[in-house]
Amino acid sequence: MPTEPRQFEDDLRHAVYLRDGYKCAYTGKVDTTYTGKRMSLDHIDPIHTGGAMQNKKDGLDNGRATNLTTAFGRTNSAKGKKSKEAWSAYAKNIAPPKAGLKFEWKEIEDGAKEPLDLKRGAELSKLAKQARDARRLDANGDRTIETPKSKAIAEKSKAIVESYQKEQAAKKAGPGVQHDPKDGRFTSARAAVVAVARDIVRHLRARLWPGHPAA
């Protein structure tokens, strides 16, 4: 049983948030401030059943946080120490519809196998601290009320996340693939060349053999 403190290193925390797109694994909701506001890290396999803590970089699995996923604070609190089986049963049979619990363990576990970008995680950690300091205090004395300055900082965080996501999408698409920034689709370079060649052939046929079936 681990006895060390469970406080996560900030750059590690935000590297996991980045990997997951600042999206809660169990509800699909995204932290649109991209600063970790109301977000937390959840252990996929609970610590008390032998799951890896991975709260420090030296505890990662070859640069991967294979036992960590992103979850909203309230959702994480509801999961508590539940096993995967117990959490699935709770989501299906007990949780109120407003909780919005909808997830697949394979998708979560596969996502957790992706390597972390700790450099960007450190950048996002710094921006998160700046955004938190720029917010106003709410009635409970917590800095949750957004200000123009905190929103501007959030835009910087969002740009980092979007840049990372485009890079990851390009890697998964493979070599020889072109990205269309307008609709987000990927097409192979070979397919593009073939399409252009076909257009040229059609054009030549139309000029040399008017009325040709393939013109």
**DSSP code at position 70:** E
Given this model, what pLDDT does residue 1 score?
40
Domain ranges, ordered by start, for the chain: 10-172, 177-208
Residue 199 vs residues 49, 150, 205: alpha-carbon distances, Å: 62, 51, 10
Q: Which two tokens stand for residue 26?
A: 């169990």
Tens digit of pLDDT for each residue in 24-50?
999 999 999 999 999 999 999 999 999
Determine the residue type at 53. Answer: M
User: pLDDT of 55-77, one tens digit each?
Assistant: 999 999 999 999 999 999 999 99
What average pLDDT does the segment 144-173 reach? 95
Query: Which of 81-85, 134-138, 182-186, 187-191 shows the lowest mean pLDDT across its residues?
Result: 182-186
For range 117-130, the mean pLDDT: 98
DSSP code at position 46: -
Residue-level pLDDT at 4:
45
Rounded mean pLDDT of 180-201? 60
